[in-house]
Structure 1
Amino acid sequence: MFNYLYDIVNLNFGEEVENNWSVWDYDKIAIGDRYYMVKLGVGATGIIGTGFIDSSPMKGEDWSGKGRKIYYVNYEPTMMLNPDALPILSTTTLASRIPGFEWDYGHSGLVLDQADGELLNKLWEAFVEEHRAEFEKKATCGRYENDYIYWLRK
């Protein structure tokens, strides 16, 4: 989680951050696809970030040291939330609205089918709208090292 918060601060300073992540469904991912980053484990679980894939999958070294075939993609975030400072779209909500997907299981880069992907986009848009005032307040709080939120607004 530390690097994630560090990335929020650096992106808010306008710095380049190298973002890549291992992906399970590498053969189903393409440049321009939307991604959602889900936090699992201790504490609040749910979507903590979103953005777009900006590279084709690339074979790389297994981060776990197990010698598995691993692919990575680069991604460009448009929103990153600190789950200790702001609400996140919970895995409980996600599981109730999109029950055919294992929200509490930890494989990176799983791809939703088209219908579930469209539903997730709508759920996310509604979630952001519901919390817009709080997100705006944290995004413009004037904190020197803002690790609350990164929000690329057009």
Structure 2
Amino acid sequence: MNIKTVADTLDLTIDTIRYYERIGVVPPVQRDKNGYRDYQVGDINRLFVAKVLRNAGLSIESLVEYAALEQVSDNPLAAQKELLQEQLDRLNLKLKEIERTRDLLQYKVDTFDERMDQRNRKDIEVEKLWETYHL
């Protein structure tokens, strides 16, 4: 598959795909007899995973490290799995933060009218949001 088709398929720019190859996020791609990149399923999978991981917040450095483990590690699969597990743990923590933030925002939206009606009353105790929504 040529680079334009891969770019369209994965919704990446051609420049991003070339950049990922140049810096080592993905290994060099096989070339056809005319010197054009000829992407195979494995190449496209690597690009797809890189895109998804970047969208989830992984740094370029982490992606390069992940790819480099294949060349420098005695046990690349174990090292790659460990790196992925670390990133998964970080992402799970971030998801918990996002869920707590969503819950607080939902509460604020759900109670907005009621709170606006009560805002000028002196006998209403102001709630301590930080005790309920530990962000």
**Higher helix fraction: Structure 1 or Structure 2?**
2
Larger RCO, structure (CA 8 Å, separation 6 or more):
1
**TM-score calculated relative to the size of structure 2:** 0.32
Tell me which structure has the larger Cα radius of gyration.
Answer: 2
- More strand by proportion, 1 or 2? 1
